[in-house]
Amino acid sequence: MHTRVIWTLLVILSLVGPSLVHVSPAHAQTPTATDPASRASAAAVEISQFEAQGNIDQLYARMHLDAKVLIPKEAVAGWYQADFFPRGPGVITVTGVQIISWTWDVTGITYPTTAEVSFTQPFANGETVSEVVRLVEDNGVWYWFFGRNRDFVNQQITTYAAGYPLIDDTSAASSQVTNDVAPWGLESFSAFSVDPNTFMATLPPAILTHEIGEVEATTGGSPVVPPFAGQMLTAPYFTPPELTIPSGQVSVYTLNPDVTTLDALTQIENSWRESPQFAILRQHRDPSADVPFMLIQGTANDAVGVVPVLYWCNPDGTEIYAASMRDYVSLRLLVTQIVNPTQPAAVPTQPVESTPPIEPTAPAGG
């Protein structure tokens, strides 16, 4: 039933499989303390519990959005499984918390209110290490960052996530997603064509390993078309050799004449609230905005897992667009290519010539 309510947008993503199912970050942290330092301290302990459990799903779920749009889960999982979990990490003991302004060197973005948590962490060999981790609060939850410098992160992408692009100055500059403006250049996007052939021609033919399929046009009254729309265009993406179950999708919803974009976005939100994993990550729905948008994460069903979906509106308020891929990095690349189709495709990972040493004792955390 839930798949039908969200109008088949994510049922196509069953290729993701259950490995991405995890507790929603929006519900993961429930500290009772009210001051930021105490809540950040509790969050750091909780994150270390995931390390002690070897729980990659929860660790990646608690990584900051600005990091997830650049760093695939495979890179984080690979480093933990090869370099950190074998050491038998235990739960940390917090020794201090400072609220500071901090710049994440991977992107150069500064976070004015960062909790720098000092701690000691025991390991199975009897060693105890003193370290720090930086956490940034987002919608009431404190999140961590993977990697203290770009070379380290790119090395993990090269080693464990071949095919994903390395982080460069361009991707780093566009990584931060805020509520102020639609992400990844959408303010310069005009509109999709409602002609199926033209619509398909404006989409990137491939994103990483995902290749575009045939566009399907569906009129209102069909169970897969939401009640606010009179027509829906859908372009699926597939990951060969699997050519029957899509791994991503771009949709165009032509609104009924009596429906505003705000009404449509509200209906979309309400339909997603059936998902226990639902969270609004960023949004700016004000019709006066250059591009009203809503970035969410949610689960279509237990087999699909948690995936990101971006909704945005065309300038004249007659259409809603939706884009989804199996992970945040692929979604960012898809939207970037939609906005700027002349931009070269993402550069495949290449070996990093040198990787400055980084202490492996803190979870490669920022």
Note the pLDDT tens digit of each residue in 274-326.
887 799 999 999 888 889 999 999 886 665 578 899 999 998 999 999 999 98
**How many Å apart are CA 156 and CA 59, to the nearest integer?**
16
* Residue ranges of domains in the chain: 2-15+178-339, 22-173
**How many Å apart are CA 292 and CA 41, to the nearest integer?**
36
**Facing residues of 98 across strands?**
116
> What pLDDT, on a 0 to 100 scale, did the predictor assign at position 288?
81
- The one-letter code for the residue type at 312 is W
Q: Provide the CATH number for the domain formed by 2-15+178-339 in this structure.
A: 3.40.1000
Tokens standing for residue 236: 């699926």
- The one-letter code for the residue type at 358 is I
What is the residue whose two structure tokens read 């270390």?
48
Q: Is the CA virtual torsion 276, 297, 158, 153 positive or negative?
A: negative
Note the pLDDT tens digit of each residue in 26-48.
444 444 567 999 999 999 999 99
Q: Work out the mean pLDDT of the chain and round it to a whole number.
A: 86
Tell me whether residue 241 is exposed, middle or buried, using C-beta atoms within 10 angstroms of its C-beta: 0 to 12, 13 to 18, 19 or more.
exposed
**How many Å apart are CA 73 and CA 364, to the nearest integer?**
14
Percent of the chain with pLDDT over 70: 84
**Domain 22-173 listed as CATH 2.30.30.230:** no
What is the residue whose two structure tokens read 């004249």?
316
**How many Å apart are CA 6 and CA 50, to the nearest integer?**
31
